[in-house]
Amino acid sequence: MPFRRVAFNDLTLKLSGGHVTVESPSGNFTSRELEILELQKDGYQDKEIARILKISLNTVKNTLGHMREREERTTTDLVVRAESDGLLSPDFINGINEFRSGKWRR
C-alpha cells in the first residue's frame, strides 16, 4: 500500500503499510496506541483492554511501556495530553480507522 499523509490543524495522519500514525503536539501515536489510551481513560484495566481489543495482555503492557519510554511521560500524562488534543474521542478513532481502510478521503 502506498504511503499517504493528510494534515489538518495541528495534526498529521500518516498511512503506511496499513498502519496509521497520528502526529500531534502531544506526541506521535499509532491507531492501536490511541485505542489503548482511550480505554485507559475510561478506567479499564490492562487485562480488560486486552479482552476488548482481542490482543494479548503482554501486547497491552508492552505498548504502554513503549509509549511511556518514547514520549518520556507516565500513562496518566499520555492520556491527559492525548485527550487535550482530541485524540481519544470515539469519532476521531473511528475516523482513523476509515482513513486506514481508504473510506475517508480529503
pLDDT of residue 88: 85
Helix, strand or coil, per DSSP, at residue 34: helix
| Main-chain dihedrals φ then ψ at residue 15, nearest 5 degrees | -120, 125
**What residues contact residue 88 under an 8 Å CB cut-off, 6+ apart?**
34, 37, 38, 41, 79, 82
Which residues neighbour 26 within 8 Å (Cβ) at sequence distance 6 or greater?
Answer: 78, 81, 82, 84, 85, 87
Q: CB under 8 Å to 86, separation ≥6 — which residues?
A: 92
Strands of the 19-24 sheet, one edge to the other: 4-8, 11-16, 19-24, 27-30
Q: What is the pLDDT of residues 62-85, one digit of tens each?
A: 999 999 998 888 999 999 988 888
β-sheet bridge partners, residue 23: 12, 28
Cell of 44: 479499564
Stated pTM of the model: 0.80
| 9-55 confidence digits (pLDDT tens) | 677 777 776 677 888 877 788 888 999 999 999 999 999 999 999 99
